[in-house]
Amino acid sequence: MFFNDRNAMRKNIVTGVPLFVVLFFLCLALYVQGAAAGESKNFLWKIQSKTNTVYLLGSVHFMKKEIYPLREEIEEAFQSSDILVVEADINDVSRIDLQKMLGSAFYFEGNSLEKHISPETLERVKKEFDECGMPAVLITRQKPWFLALTLTSLKLMQLGFDPSYGIDVHFLNAASGKKKIRELESIDYQIDLLSGFSDSEQEAFLLYALNDMNSLEKNTDALMTAWKTGDTRGMELIIGENIRNDRTAADIYDKLLYTRNKNMVSKITEYLQTRETYFVIVGAGHVVGERGIVELLRKRGYLVEQL
């Protein structure tokens, strides 16, 4: 196959998976640079029921080392919690079915990328990956959704971003052996979701990734500013703009964000009925907007405060 080390391959695929959600927010970051310093908050919320507290942190899955140490409000909320909850525990890859993962991310004999995307898109892909020095055999065997992750991951790492410094990884490492760790979803669930998109949806997402390459550095810097200042309004506005202008984008957002948001809210509601304090980490895109987790919890009557 293309990788000699099975564990290394697991890690390579898994660390990229959550980025699929974040990619859309790389292009919207140009619109969120104006957060006033005096109003600076965190992408952190305190959710309270009559009996319990859940802290909800919007995460960015690729980060730079310089982001640490995180602000005191975030670390203190984590320290005061009994249980860490993440979308998927990417540190525990031993449970992953490697054959299933390979089948979801790669084409095998008799099948290839060129049979599933247009010639124009294929040429753009080859040009972009040629600049990255990636062998053609790896390009033609990857499915479009995974190719988009690969391309953007390579570019982000060239810019100094690293999944090993992601917010979820930071807290998974901090919780290891000290706190209970639970999943809102699972790695298998996320892979099934991404690989389940139609060919047209996968090609559309690949095109979004390709179109973002030229402005990626500027956009990611602005995204970091928005995350550090807790600016949710700018993100919400540009998400709505994307959905209004592109039907395919709207369909992808619905599957990637809104359907999952409802499921996540159901689990968080269960946590709020217990007596243990939870520290929940989700991709930043899940928390913003009228259909985001924060607003859905507020509508259910819980006390919600951005810290």
pLDDT given for residue 76 in this prediction: 98
Confidence category of residue 243, pLDDT binned at 50, 70, 90: low
- Alpha carbon distance 287, 294 (integer Å): 5
Confidence category of residue 26, pLDDT binned at 50, 70, 90: very low
Overall residue count recorded for the chain in this entry: 307
- Alpha carbon distance 64, 156 (integer Å): 10
pLDDT given for residue 159 in this prediction: 87
270 or 17: which leads in pLDDT: 270
pLDDT by residue (tens digit) across 39-90?
Answer: 579 999 999 999 999 999 998 888 889 999 999 999 999 999 999 999 988 8
Residue 253: which domain range? 6-306
pTM above 0.95, yes or no: no
Tally of domains within the chain: 1
> Per the domain annotation, does 122 fall within a domain?
yes
pLDDT by residue (tens digit) across 225-241?
Answer: 778 888 888 666 655 55
Helix H or strand E segment including 59: strand 53-59
- Alpha carbon distance 209, 148 (integer Å): 6
Q: Sheet containing 83-86: give its strands across.
A: 180-183, 83-86, 278-283, 53-59, 44-48, 303-306
The total of other beta-carbon atoms located within 10 Å of residue 198's CB is: 11
39 or 267: which leads in pLDDT: 267
- Alpha carbon distance 36, 235 (integer Å): 15
Q: Are 110 and 149 in contact (CB under 8 A)?
A: no
pLDDT at 4 over 80: no
Tokens of 224: 């970091």
Of the ranges 15-29, 88-102, 104-118, the best mean pLDDT one: 104-118
Q: Are 206 and 121 in contact (CB under 8 A)?
A: yes
> Per the domain annotation, does 190 fall within a domain?
yes
Across the strands, what pairs with 46?
55, 305
**Structural Rg of the chain based on CA atoms:** 19
pLDDT at 14 over 70: no
> Per the domain annotation, does 237 fall within a domain?
yes
> Per the domain annotation, does 1 fall within a domain?
no
